[in-house]
Chain A
Amino acid sequence: MILISRLGFAAAALLLATSVGRAAEPREIDPAPTAADWAALAKLPDWSGVWTPGVKDQNAQITSNPPPWTPDVATQMADLAAQEKAGHPRGLFIDCLPEGMPSWMLISHNAVEILFTPGRVTLLGESDGSRLRRIYTDGRSHPADPDPSFHGNSIGHWDGETLVVDTVGVLPQSYLAVSEAVGIPNNGDLHVVERIHLAETDTLHDDLEITAPHVLTGPWKTTRIYYRQRAKKYEIIEGECLQGSFKDGVDAKDNAIFVPVPLVDGNPRAQ
């Protein structure tokens, strides 16, 4: 009896294994990098150091190179610009959600560093815990239906010494902004193509072509400038956006805790 049971169990296990093996899709993996993969990184251009954005140029382009807004959006932009000029800026990012794509590239005042690892380029930004872009350079395509995210799905390839990045799958709520107070949700179907390259030894250009069919009449081209810093005091430090909404305190048991700071329109206010 025991023998029959054992035989029966073995047969069932064999059947199960066979059926699973037949039904399973090939397992997709990120293969372990080889020594050659690591060595190949040395042939890429040197983008080490910390990059600080050219904010003066960002501001100049608000008037010199405005996005081709659709008429309805242009009206909304004019209203936001008027509110800012009157001293009542609408805070687009005061909820501490990420600036996301493409606004991070367009309006950030904060430093960024760029890491190369086999099959990937990673952008890490300061001042916002989620300011992170993963750009896959391993030859993959975009997923057919990527889960929308603030920074989207980015794939890249090297065209000589230029990194060409294609980004889709950005949340419709993610802003297309020209300043911290003037911008609009992209409203879906955003597509960004970037050509990132050294314009000079220590100057990086991000040439962006932004297609946002629900808010722009056509593709918008702009170049954003970053300057390389090597002084150690420019090394990126941790930044958590929401931390500014709290200050140090203690609870009744003397534990160190964060205590909310009174805020008005997202800004700390003396009460």
Chain B
Amino acid sequence: MTRSQTIALPLVLLVGLAVPVVPGQAHHSFAMFDPSKATTINGTVKEFQWTNPHVVLWVYAAAKEGETPELWNIELTSPGNLTRIGWTRHSLNPGDKVAVEFAPLRDGTRGGGFRKVTLTDTGQELTGNFQATEKPDLQ
């Protein structure tokens, strides 16, 4: 724990209460994301939230070059589904430089549905399509 986290906690709680809060984010339709407007942002991983029902990638990135980086949230499928296509909870880590491709939220807020991430330092690519193949005995 860092001191800044301790100080930030009450603020986080307040922010959590100040916005319209609906408990849970389960099983929602991905229609809120617009797949026809695939977007890529370059930034730095703040946090890789490995939780059900959806994993969330929090990234600091500037919408356009030269602008101040802001926080984006990119939603993925569940930990179970990601595990089966090779991810682990350590696939992305705070501080990683990344290029993230996603289908943006239609309402224009900073977020979207995950498509692909490229780790800038290694060139490693990870995709999120766990339903590319539907058949028995997948490897």
Q: Using a CB–CB distance below 8 Å, which chain A residues touch chain B?
A: 52, 54-56, 84-85, 87-89, 91-96, 99, 109-111, 126-128, 179-181, 200-203, 227-231, 233-234, 236-237, 239-247, 249-252, 254, 259-271
Which of these, B9, B23, B56, B83, contacts A268 with CB under 8 Å? B56
Interface string of B95-139 (1 = CB under 8 A from A): 000000000001001110000000000000000000100111111
Q: For A242, list chain B residues within 8 Å (CB).
A: 23-24
Docked CA distance A250–B12 (Å): 11
**Contact of B19 with A271 in the complex, beta carbons under 8 Å:** yes
Chain B residue at smallest Cβ distance from A93: B27
Q: Using a CB–CB distance below 8 Å, which chain B residues touch chain A?
A: 1, 5-6, 9, 12-13, 15-17, 19-29, 31-32, 34, 47, 49, 51-54, 56, 58, 70-73, 75, 77-81, 83-84, 106, 109-111, 131, 134-139
With A87-B32, A271-B15 as contacts: A180 and B27 at CB distance below 8 Å: yes
Q: For A233, list chain B residues within 8 Å (CB).
A: 83-84
Chain A residue at smallest Cβ distance from B2: A250
Secondary structure call for the B interface: loop
Secondary structure call for the A interface: loop
Chain A residue at smallest Cβ distance from B47: A247
Which of these, B19, B31, B53, B84, contacts A127 with CB under 8 Å? B53
Q: For A179, list chain B residues within 8 Å (CB).
A: 29
**Contact of A270 with B31 in the complex, beta carbons under 8 Å:** no
Cross-chain pairs A/B with CB under 8 angstroms, 11 sampled: A94-B25, A127-B78, A128-B53, A181-B28, A201-B136, A202-B136, A229-B137, A229-B138, A245-B25, A263-B19, A269-B111
